[in-house]
Structure 1
Amino acid sequence: MTLAMLAHAFLPGIRADEHREHPAPAGLITLICSEIQRLFVLPAAYPNGQRDHRLRWSLWRRRHQARARDCHYRRREATT
């Protein structure tokens, strides 16, 4: 339990550093804590082939979420 609490305290710090040093490219959302957690597990949990697939999946997911966010904002602006 203590280790899990430590990990949850550690991830927001990594997220803040990542946002400051490497802002998200255009068309992607910034890394969120759960995405960072998934990326930390990759080297230990998956063989090389799956690791590449998981990284591509992460990029696809962030791109999809950015498009959904932009579409949502445009729709809200059009109704106000």
Structure 2
Amino acid sequence: MPLSELARVAGTRWCVEECFQAAKGQVGLDHYQVRHWTAWHRHITLAMLALAVLAADATPARTAQPNRHARGTDPIDLTVPEIRHLLGAFLVPPAMSPHSLLTWSNWRRLHQATARRCHYQRRLAEPSIG
């Protein structure tokens, strides 16, 4: 086997290991306590799906100052708890329609964005100590 092929395989393995490490830290890939293969498979599948959603939603930092909001009226980005809630609501027969569920999620994230904006405005208005 040529050296270039070995290097390619080693590089691919490194990429996969990085993905698993991110999944363990961000979506709890290693937080399972199951006894059967089916339950383990379901947990791993949902964790990897959550990681894929997070990776698709990942955006670079929008502003140079992290304490300032970039967009005034947009909802905050999807968080891990919000994604877990949405996945759970979509996978278990929901008590409300998918449209109502997404509308509620959008309202909640808009409310969180408003709270964040008010918090930052208050912090910026306070005189700094020191």
TM-score by length of 1: 0.69
Which residue of the partner structure matches residue 16 of structure 1?
A: 55
Q: Greater share of helix residues, 1 or 2?
A: 1
List gaps (5 residues or longer) in structure 2.
Answer: 1-32, 35-39, 63-70
Report sequence identity in percent: 32
Structure 2 residue 98 is the aligned partner of structure 1 residue 51: yes
Q: Structure 1 residues 51 and 8, CA, compared in 2 at 3 Å: closer, same or farther?
A: closer
- Relative contact order: is structure 1 or structure 2 higher (C-alpha 8 Å, sep ≥ 6)? 1
Residues 15-47 of structure 1 show CA distances to partners (whole Å, capped at 9, x for unaligned) of 133123xx9x75210000111112222333235
TM-align CA RMSD: 3.1
Aligned residues: 77
Which aligned pairs between 1:1-80 and structure 2 lie closer than 5 A? Answer: 1=33, 3=40, 6=44, 10=48, 11-12=50-51, 14-20=53-59, 26-46=73-93, 49-80=96-127
TM-score by length of 2: 0.46
List gaps (5 residues or longer) in structure 1.
Answer: none
Q: Distance between the aligned counterparts of 1:45 and 1:28, measured in 2?
A: 25
Query: Counterpart of 2:77 in 1: which secondary structure?
Result: coil
